[in-house]
A and B are shown apart, each in its own frame.
Chain A
Amino acid sequence: MHASPSVLIVDRSEETREVLETALEKRGIRTLCAARIHRAAEMARAQQPDLIVLDLELDRSNLGQVCAKFQAEADCQQPPMVLLGSMQKAPANPHCEIVAKPYHYGLLIRKIEEILETLNRDSRKPA
């Protein structure tokens, strides 16, 4: 990663998107925001973010399928994901972390920074 890292925030709550966007931008992290799976998948394919923060309660008519639905629609190499909420089955993507709701933003921001830091270190390792 040479440019500043980017995070795609997918959450139906405008407040959550606003808080994360403000906090992450202050830390030099670029943010992309989407409120729906379809739009988020388009952005993921086009912008190739380094990390995706996905609200598991995005589609209340289909709880439990949000992650799978997004991954199917995004149809691209899956970056690490931070999933907000709870899941009955562990996600197929091994690079997913789950943060239960309600969460503290401080801890969530730190987790995002740690993951991005790890990705940055891994990308600088010699092949």
Chain B
Amino acid sequence: MPSLFVIRGNDQGSRFEFAEGTTSIGRDASNDIQLHDTEVSRRHAQIYGSKDVYTVSDLDSSNGTFVNGRPVEAHRLESGDHLQIGRTLMLFTQPPGAPEVDLSDKVAISSDKAFGDQSHIVHSVSHEESSHFFELSPQVEQSAWLARARGNLQAMYRAALAVSQTLDIDKLLHRIMELIFESVEADRGCVMLTDADTGRLQPKVQRTRRNSKDGDRITISETILDYVMENGEGVLTSDAQQDDRWNPAASIVRMGIREAICVPMRGRYDIVGVIYIDTSTSPQELMLKGVANRFSEDHLKLMVAIAHQAALAVEDTRYYSAMVQAERLAAVGQTIATLSHHIKNILQGIRGGSYLIEMGLSEHDETVVRKGWKIVEKNQNKISALVLDMLTFSKEREPDLQPADINRVVCDVVELMQAHAADLDVAVHCRLADDIPTLVFDPEGMHRAILNVITNAIDAAADSERSGNVEVATAYLPEDGKIQVSIRDDGPGIPADEMERSSGPSCPPRRVVGPGSVCRSARRSSANTADGLPWNPIRARGVAFPWNCRPSLPEPAARLLRKPPSKSPDPCLFCGDRYISLSGTGLL
């Protein structure tokens, strides 16, 4: 489905998907895409899609609509276009219409014999060795130009390495500044990033070479900064007049030269900041070295290239954070909506029960009073369970590992949910393997996780056309060292476009009730059940939910448990308590 991803603006991180037909964009809530931007008109623009062709049209807005920086009245959108409405910048992407090319008949992997290839490995380079690619042995003669070129390439390569290896942006920017100081004879330097909210430049890194006479405070010309930010061009500045170089009485002889390089950090979508370096050459140095300029056009080009690398890393961090934040907020919103829905239903139940009690009291009909009271009591329990669940979910809990029977845990959950299932006309069927030995895991945590999954399965099955069914099964997979708890429902399933996102860092924002929420709630529970309990939700189309768990313990305890059970059990290596003897090896 085509989509608009907000890369700048108040809705940064939001993704709006739309289908063919007309999609309206504006500030008003009645729009299909609502932008929280005061510079967006109430009904600002619309996108019309037909047969995979999408056209954006401006609806006579106050501030206009821009595609790739150009104002448009109507424009056919191509994947990758930047659409700007107000202060909001969005990226338009459209999945390819044509089926992907299958290259499996053009590229094949075969054994050497079958292929008839006599090649053998003559040289191999590790990742570490490749970082010294541009270093030359000092004995090898090279021209000054070649030495500079190799030096610049080395700096570029190391900047790219730093971007790929350093996850913390502040550390990365410090490393970038280090590389610049190694490659360029700068005396002082700083990196400034634009603030996401105000758009103003904020210093993030500042560095001064030792023995610099100018002190730590760097003053940058606002004119230069504005030029760099507005034009997106790097600049090399000097306070020396061009012809003063040849005039021995000129100011450079008296005062020296101050030079500066200021380059934009231009990423894929935007300029995210600037890198600035400067240097000053005293008259004495001028006399000694005879060199007027220390910064050259080559240095400027190198700085532009390094700044681009750094900007890509900054953008990735910002957009990923924004996306995660937006998904979290959407998930919070959905959670609140779901909670409100549940509380509303409980309130409706209490109202119903109270109504019958009142009716029964006024007609002196005890049967009706009892009916009403039963309903009130049931809903009291529901609200109590809901509050306890919320408290439990919000608390961090250490797993309480102990030998336990997974079938017993599953049976307890099914028994607990029978009444709820019966209310919704859903049948719960159990198919428990009888060869699962006693294992070491956190039974209370597993109970909660399985309860969450089964509750959602029952709710999903209640939506099926006829009477619903939920099947709960356990299996033991000794060759993989796993137990499997499988919960299957015959509900409507998860839409295909939500399947991909259901195992991401946060579950699909639009669908919390039903199998979609199982992922998140059960993941949370399973994360607390045992240290190192891997989570592997394999989902079919919202029907089967096989859940593979691999209970594990730190190695000493695992070794202990692999030993055949002895008549007098060995003491626990952690606390010295005697283990109860386990049937089978238990853990693998």
Contact = CB atoms under 8 A, between A and B. Distances in A.
Task: Determine if chain A interacts with chain B.
Answer: yes
Interface of A: 12-16, 18-19, 22-23, 26, 35-39, 59-62, 101-106
Given A15-B375, A36-B425, A23 B355 contact: yes
A7 B243 CA distance: 101
A51 B105 CA distance: 65
Contacts of A101: 344, 348
Nearest to B372: A19
A86 B392 CA distance: 33
A102 B351 contact: yes
A15 B344 contact: no
10 contacts: A13-B423, A15-B353, A18-B371, A22-B368, A26-B359, A35-B462, A37-B465, A60-B463, A60-B514, A103-B348
A16 B371 CA distance: 12
A35 B349 contact: no
Chain A CB within 10 Å — which of B352, B356, B466 has the most? B352
A28 B344 CA distance: 30
Interface majority SS on A: helix, strand, loop or mixed?
A: helix
A12 B352 CA distance: 14
B462 to A, nearest CB: 6
B513 interface: yes
A12 to B, nearest CB: 6
A19 B372 CA distance: 8
A26 B425 contact: no
B352 A19 contact: yes
A35 B378 contact: no
B355 A19 contact: yes
Given A15-B349, A16-B352, A36-B466, A61 B368 contact: no
A16 B346 CA distance: 11
B345 interface: yes
B351 A13 contact: no
B351 A104 contact: yes
A105 B424 contact: no
Interface string B445-477: 000000000000001001101110000000000
B465 A12 contact: no
Given A13-B345, A22-B371, 12 more contacts: A15-B378, A16-B348, A16-B349, A18-B371, A36-B465, A39-B466, A60-B513, A62-B492, A102-B344, A102-B347, A104-B355, A105-B352
Given A13-B345, A35-B425, A104-B351, A19 B375 contact: yes
Contacts of A26: 359, 363, 368
Nearest to B460: A61
Chain B CB within 10 Å — which of A22, A23, A35 has the most? A22
Nearest to B426: A35
Contacts of A60: 459, 463, 513-514
B356 to A, nearest CB: 6
A105 B513 CA distance: 27
B463 A59 contact: yes
A84 B459 CA distance: 20
Interface in B46-103: none
Pick the 7 closest A-B CB pairs, nearest first. A19-B352, A105-B355, A61-B492, A14-B423, A15-B349, A102-B348, A15-B375
Contacts of B467: 36
B513 A15 contact: no
A112 B440 CA distance: 58
B458 to A, nearest CB: 12
A60 B353 CA distance: 24
A97 B466 CA distance: 27
Contacts of B347: 102
Contact of B465 (A18, A38, A104, A106): A38
Contacts of B363: 26
Contacts of A104: 351, 355
A38 B514 CA distance: 21
A118 to B, nearest CB: 23
B359 A13 contact: no
Contacts of B491: 61
Interface string B508-525: 000001100000000000
A26 B351 CA distance: 18
Nearest to B424: A12
A52 to B, nearest CB: 19
Contacts of B459: 60
B463 A23 contact: no
A62 B466 CA distance: 15
Nearest to B354: A105
A106 B357 CA distance: 12
Contact of A18 (B345, B375, B463, B492): B375
A75 B203 CA distance: 70
Contacts of B425: 35-36
Nearest to B344: A102
Nearest to B491: A61
